[in-house]
Amino acid sequence: MTTNEQKIKCPKCGESISIDAVLTHQIEEKIKKELGEENI
């Protein structure tokens, strides 16, 4: 299976960052927060 990983370059440090990795991290954090709030 081939993946078309898209990358962007950080304007501050010039490092190449995977868009998929960033979005995955943001979604995971949002879900964790939402699930945590439901348990209160």
Q: What is the 3-state secondary structure (H, E, C) of 21-39?
A: HHHHHHHHHHHHHHHHHHC
pLDDT, tens digit, 9 for 90 and up, residues 1-31:
456 779 999 889 999 999 998 899 999 999 9
Give me the residue spans of the domains in the chain.
Answer: 10-38
d(Cα 26, Cα 32) in Å, to the nearest integer?
10
Q: What's the gap between Cα 18 and its chain centre?
A: 8
Evaluate if pTM is beyond 0.75.
Answer: no
* Residue 7: DSSP 8-state: E
More confident position, 1 or 32: 32
For residue 39, pLDDT beyond 80:
no
Q: What single letter denotes the amino acid at residue 11? A: P
Facing residues of 8 across strands?
17
